[in-house]
Copies of this chain bind each other. A is one copy, B any other.
Amino acid sequence: MKHIADSTVRRLSAYLRFLEDFETRGLTTISSDELAKRGGTTSAQVRKDLSFFGSFGKRGLGYSVPELAGRLREILGLGREWKVIIVGAGKIGAALARHHGFQQRGFTITAVYDADPQIVGLDLDGLAVRDAGHLERDIHRDHPDIAVLAVPEQAAQAVTDRLVRAGIKAVLNFAPAQLQVPPEVTVKTVNMAMELEGLSFALTNRE
């Protein structure tokens, strides 16, 4: 498969959301124009994004909403359950563990870890925080697909190295750190401080 840019994948996620919204409203077909309008992009961009994955829709008739939604779910890998572990049960980690919105998309949080003995054993909406010392043992046994990293900056790389050695191939990183991983591992970083700095940059440098 050709390399697909992150920005394209994000737009596919967005299109899927709009299609699901249309589905609940009972609409059966949608034009690239309408999808573009909802996504703040152009219909040429929509057609280009979708053309990566084969041919969809009929000229003049638009796309079939359930068909395109089904195909996008398949492309995005949403037709199955993904096991997600959270490493770090501080404020952000605990809030994520308690957030049930990911489940409906097939992302099941199967375990939460912390290194602090005061936190290990706490109950987070039915998940008992496990001892981070057992990470490797548990990963070998349970085969989680995705690790959410919510540890302090200083611990981030060392914990990532342990996750990668244990076989994790996908990391969602909330630590304010640039993680080094081998090429077969995918990292997405959510960095709120950097987003805030992007805003202060915009406020400072606007006309």
Contact = CB atoms under 8 A, between A and B. Distances in A.
A158 interface: no
Interface residues of A, number: 59
B9 A77 contact: no
A49 to B, nearest CB: 13
A82 B84 CA distance: 35
Contacts of A192: 96, 99, 102, 172, 190
| Copies of this chain held together in the complex | 2
Interface stretch (A54-62, A87-95, A112-120, A128-136): A87-95
A51 interface: no
A14 B204 CA distance: 18
Task: From A13, A40, A193, A201, name the one whose CB has the most chain B CB atoms within 10 angstroms.
Answer: A201
Contacts of A203: 77, 82, 145-146, 169-170, 186
Contacts of A10: 194, 198
A196 interface: yes
A172 B186 contact: no
A107 interface: yes
A200 B99 contact: no
A194 to B, nearest CB: 5
Interface in A172-194: 172, 176, 178, 180, 184, 186, 188, 190-194
A121 interface: no
Given A107-B196, A199-B188, A178 B91 contact: no
A38 B157 CA distance: 13
Contacts of A195: 172, 188, 190
Contacts of A193: 13, 101-102, 105, 107
